[in-house]
């Protein structure tokens, strides 16, 4: 991973949305751009490729603070789809710092998803890179169109067990900001370690080390996430509430004793319909897929991600 510089001294890191054609790469990029504050991101650009100016991709940049004393922007790119654009996609991976792997959650897109991943591995290999060396976040898009647990079946075939995973509906702007925020934090951490001459611990999984917050990046990205929480239907709000609850600090032992024993079903009439196969995330994380059902029989799918790190900080 390496920062590139411009004549004005501004540094640039690059992340790409990668995935099969019509998986939702461009929709995700546009949704994120629309959600971010205008004073923190550039206008959306249509950029001709170097290899073929008639082929274009969309991109924009985000201010993420300073790295090694220089103002730094995060360049966000959605690679073009299409079977004849393999060379163009490969060119956009040159010096990439992070990848959002956009996979279509529909069961009938399995082969196209796997072919896209194989192409990604091959293209990175031509630059002497691999998915184990670059931060990767998996975005299962169109979760509203996928059957329950079809995403889990796909995930077992992807072969990236340590990657952070999100389920999104890009056309409804649901979940996309969380994806980019997670990847951006990993990218910034590794770039700072590299700039300071420290060994970087990549890669696909979330860091187990504390990350000093970058207030410019947090303001640009996470404020959009909070705004997103006021939109959408009950299922999306419930998913966001679950994520926020898990990110709160672990209660002190004396506070735990005062807490009431939780019920098996959420208080708003939802009940657990089924539980998928739990998977580890790195050394200290666990991801459990759930399907919840409301009083009208409507199902909602979500993934419960648990970090065990706070427990290890206490003398238990």
The pLDDT mean for the chain works out to 76
User: What's the CA gap between 60 and 76, in Å, rounded?
Assistant: 5
Average pLDDT of span 57-74: 87
- Position 272 scores a pLDDT of 79
Q: What are phi and psi of 192, to 5 degrees?
A: -65, -40
Tokens representing residue 140 in the block: 């299962």
Average pLDDT of span 263-274: 60
Average pLDDT of span 5-13: 74
What CATH code is assigned to 235-248+263-316? Answer: 3.30.360
Residue 139: pLDDT over 80: yes
The CATH T-level fold of domain 4-232 is Rossmann fold (3.40.50)
Residue 169: pLDDT over 70: yes
- For 280-316, what is each residue's pLDDT tens digit? 666 667 778 777 777 776 767 777 877 665 444 444 4
- Delimit the domains of the chain by residue range: 4-232, 235-248+263-316
Average pLDDT of span 197-204: 55
Sequence-distant (≥ 6) Cβ neighbours of residue 175 within 8 angstroms:
139, 166, 167, 168, 169, 236, 239
Alpha helices in the chain (DSSP H): 25-35, 86-92, 110-125, 150-158, 176-195, 215-228, 234-247, 253-258, 309-312
Please indicate whether the domains covering 4-232 and 235-248+263-316 agree at the CATH topology level.
Answer: no
Concatenated DSSP letters of 282-315: TTTEEEEEEEEE-TT--EEEEEEEEE-HHHHTS-
pTM listed for this prediction: 0.68
């Amino acid at each position: 991973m390496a920062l590139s510089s411009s004549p004005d001294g501004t540094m640039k890191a690059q992340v790409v949305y990668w995935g099969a054609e019509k998986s939702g790469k461009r929709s995700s990029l546009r949704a994120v751009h629309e959600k971010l504050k205008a004073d923190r991101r550039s206008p959306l650009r249509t950029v001709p490729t170097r290899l073929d100016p008639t082929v274009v991709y969309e991109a924009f940049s985000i201010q993420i603070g300073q790295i090694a004393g220089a103002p730094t922007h995060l360049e966000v790119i959605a690679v073009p789809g299409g079977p004849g654009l393999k060379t163009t996609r490969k060119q956009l991976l040159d010096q990439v710092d992070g990848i959002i792997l956009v996979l279509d959650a529909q069961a009938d897109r399995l082969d196209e998803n796997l072919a896209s991943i194989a192409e990604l591995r091959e293209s990175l290999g031509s630059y002497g890179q691999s998915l184990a060396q670059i931060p990767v976040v998996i975005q299962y898009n169109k979760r509203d169109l996928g059957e329950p647990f079809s995403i889990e079946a796909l995930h077992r075939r992807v072969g990236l067990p340590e990657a952070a995973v999100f389920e999104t509906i890009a056309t409804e702007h649901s979940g996309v900001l969380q994806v980019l925020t997670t990847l951006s934090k990993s990218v910034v951490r590794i770039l700072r370690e590299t700039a300071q001459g420290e060994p970087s611990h990549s890669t696909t999984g979330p860091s187990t080390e504390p990350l000093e917050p970058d207030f410019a990046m947090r303001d640009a990205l996470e404020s959009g996430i909070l705004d997103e929480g006021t939109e959408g239907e009950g299922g999306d709000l419930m998913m966001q509430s679950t994520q926020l609850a898990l990110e709160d600090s672990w209660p002190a032992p004396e506070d735990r004793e005062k807490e009431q024993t939780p019920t098996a079903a959420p208080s708003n009439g939802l009940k657990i319909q089924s539980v998928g196969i739990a998977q580890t995330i790195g050394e200290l994380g666990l991801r459990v897929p759930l399907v919840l059902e409301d009083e009208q029989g409507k199902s909602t799918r979500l993934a419960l991600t648990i970090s065990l790190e706070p427990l290890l900080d206490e003398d238990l």
